[in-house]
Structure 1
């Protein structure tokens, strides 16, 4: 198994300035590398305290690349629906060079209606725009004199510069939420997957992973731990009761921001997001103690969290786990302590 950090911002100007958030996030990236973590990841979101401090993960990861030497840098994820593929492919190739080949590219469809409204992109085009954007980026990375004629973008012939540092291109991951078919499509294409266990039942997630791995096997591909990414809210303290008490505070604050961010799904529908109208009720009914019992958060003292990771491995096999150590406006010092406790007590057990 491999472990890294997901710097998913859950703050706004009323909590801390952008300058302070980014200084702290970059310091955490540096500390993660010093402690032997595998990766640093961040998201693309807009407008709200649920992710809005990260409208461009490439910009942040370029800054992280300048302050680190070994840790991998992962977009988790960039959203092709909101970018021209020539621009997106070029930015990512440039980051691959700036990091000397440490980039893994996670692509996602997005799911917040306000973001689609701002870009004037119909949500019913989400899947088609995603597929077209990923395809166009891959062609731009690997071919010369590319002529592309899609439903949303037409260009060429063009040859992208710079070519990616990694050959033929960086590892590609795709965000898969609740539909097994999206995981199967990723497996058939040879992509990795990024999943959030907190939004799925254990049996559903096991089914999705089995179908993903079976599809890769059928395609003649092996599946490594770096092909399956999970993200978990994470809080550690030496005292278990304190860890549970504060972990609940931070998790519930993050959940309240998510509830606000998805609230427009109460009156929004899209054929590309079947069932998402139920997301509001699901988020509002979230219960931290149930999440703890169901092993959907990594909260506790070091021994408890180590046991939780062992259970994750027994249920889902070898995976890569991203620790969300800034969720809920967790104080910087507590994020550092969580990072250090996990590195001291848990990383050696699973390395």
Structure 2
């Protein structure tokens, strides 16, 4: 397995200033490369403490690119429904050029009602817009004189510039969670799969979607020698002992969960056939108590030995190609992030595994 960072700012000015947050995660990104991790991923969100500090993952990753030499730069993900494909194609290709071919482009289907309302985008047609936008971006990277006529955008004879360094295109990742159609679509298109929210206590359920993705991918692209690739994102905090790790992690996880809960509760009085189950999920979350449920459902927290054991379980059940560690939850300090990363590299990753690859 390979490893990397998965960043999602869930803080606000009362928790950590934007200047402090970005200074800290940029330093953490440089440290991650130094320690042998292979990816830095950043999300995109708006208008709340859940991700709102980073409306542009490409801008953040440009800053990472300027400070690093080899780490892969992953958007996790661009919310395709809120952007024109010509903008995405050109801006992403520009970063691929600036980074000398280190960009991985992850796309996510936006899911927060207040973001759709602010952008004037219809929730019910978001799936169709998402698919059309990504297909159009790939065409702009790989074809010339591209024309599109969709309900969402139209243009004729477009030639996107600059073109990406990576040919035929940068790797594309699709964030998915539970909908079978999303796994099938990503596989049929030949895209990589990003499991953006891994419930550690429900890994066997996640495996069903991963198996569907892998089997569909191999049936369509296996004869050409292509292989599916799966990444999972998991919150991580390591300390010398389990008790110390929990003492540090609990208040941070509570802050992080509060930001997520506030965002997802925007579904309480919203219904959309394109997001079946979200309204019910919001109502369930209204009474969910993270402290009562325990950290085990949400995060990997503990001593190096404990984390190693739980990581073995993730490998056995999900068999991911890449594990992306969410180390910035709760607006934690650089010192806390650095300690987690250093302990992971020194005591969890096997010695002599370049590029963050775990043998086994």
- TM-score, L = length of structure 2: 0.93
Q: Residues 251 and 288 of structure 1 are in contact (CA less than 8 Å); yes or no, is this contact kept in structure 2?
A: no
Shift of 1:148: 1.1
For 1:286 and 1:85, locate their aligned partners in 2 and report how far apart those are by CA, in whole Å.
Answer: 40
For 1:331 and 1:187, locate their aligned partners in 2 and report how far apart those are by CA, in whole Å.
Answer: 38
Pairing 1:51-70 to 2, within 5 Å after superposition: 51-70=51-70
Decide which moves more: 13-22 or 123-132: 13-22
Q: Residues 43 and 54 of structure 2 are in contact (CA less than 8 Å); yes or no, is this contact kept in structure 1?
A: yes
Inter-CA distance 198–151: structure 2 relative to 1 (3 Å threshold): same
Counterpart for residue 193 of structure 1: 193
Counterpart for residue 250 of structure 2: 248
Inter-CA distance 280–64: structure 2 relative to 1 (3 Å threshold): same
Counterpart for residue 142 of structure 1: 142
CA deviations on 1:214-252 (whole Å, 9 max, x unpaired) are: 101111336758x21111111110021011222222112
For 2:318 and 2:226, locate their aligned partners in 1 and report how far apart those are by CA, in whole Å.
Answer: 12
Counterpart for residue 279 of structure 1: 281
Shift of 1:189: 1.0
Q: Residues 109 and 175 of structure 2 are in contact (CA less than 8 Å); yes or no, is this contact kept in structure 1?
A: yes
For 1:330 and 1:143, locate their aligned partners in 2 and report how far apart those are by CA, in whole Å.
Answer: 44
How much is the aligned-residue C-alpha RMSD, in angstroms? 1.7
Counterpart for residue 331 of structure 1: 333
For 1:63 and 1:155, locate their aligned partners in 2 and report how far apart those are by CA, in whole Å.
Answer: 32
Counterpart for residue 184 of structure 1: 184
Counterpart for residue 155 of structure 1: 155
Q: Residues 174 and 192 of structure 2 are in contact (CA less than 8 Å); yes or no, is this contact kept in structure 1?
A: yes
Shift of 1:38: 0.8
Shift of 1:307: 0.7
Q: Secondary structure of 1:233's match? A: strand
CA deviations on 1:137-196 (whole Å, 9 max, x unpaired) are: 001000111111112100121111111110000011101022122111111111111112
Q: Residues 190 and 221 of structure 2 are in contact (CA less than 8 Å); yes or no, is this contact kept in structure 1?
A: no
Q: Residues 32 and 339 of structure 1 are in contact (CA less than 8 Å); yes or no, is this contact kept in structure 2?
A: yes
Pairing 1:2-81 to 2, within 5 Å after superposition: 2-81=2-81
For 1:164 and 1:291, locate their aligned partners in 2 and report how far apart those are by CA, in whole Å.
Answer: 44
Q: Residues 74 and 103 of structure 1 are in contact (CA less than 8 Å); yes or no, is this contact kept in structure 2?
A: yes
Q: Residues 224 and 319 of structure 1 are in contact (CA less than 8 Å); yes or no, is this contact kept in structure 2?
A: no
- List runs of 5+ in structure 2 lacking aligned partners: 352-357
Q: Residues 198 and 291 of structure 1 are in contact (CA less than 8 Å); yes or no, is this contact kept in structure 2?
A: no
Aligned pairs, number: 349
Shift of 1:288: 5.1
Q: Residues 6 and 322 of structure 1 are in contact (CA less than 8 Å); yes or no, is this contact kept in structure 2?
A: yes
Inter-CA distance 288–191: structure 2 relative to 1 (3 Å threshold): farther
Counterpart for residue 236 of structure 1: 238
Shift of 1:17: 2.0
- TM-score, L = length of structure 1: 0.95
Q: Residues 77 and 175 of structure 1 are in contact (CA less than 8 Å); yes or no, is this contact kept in structure 2?
A: yes
Shift of 1:201: 2.5
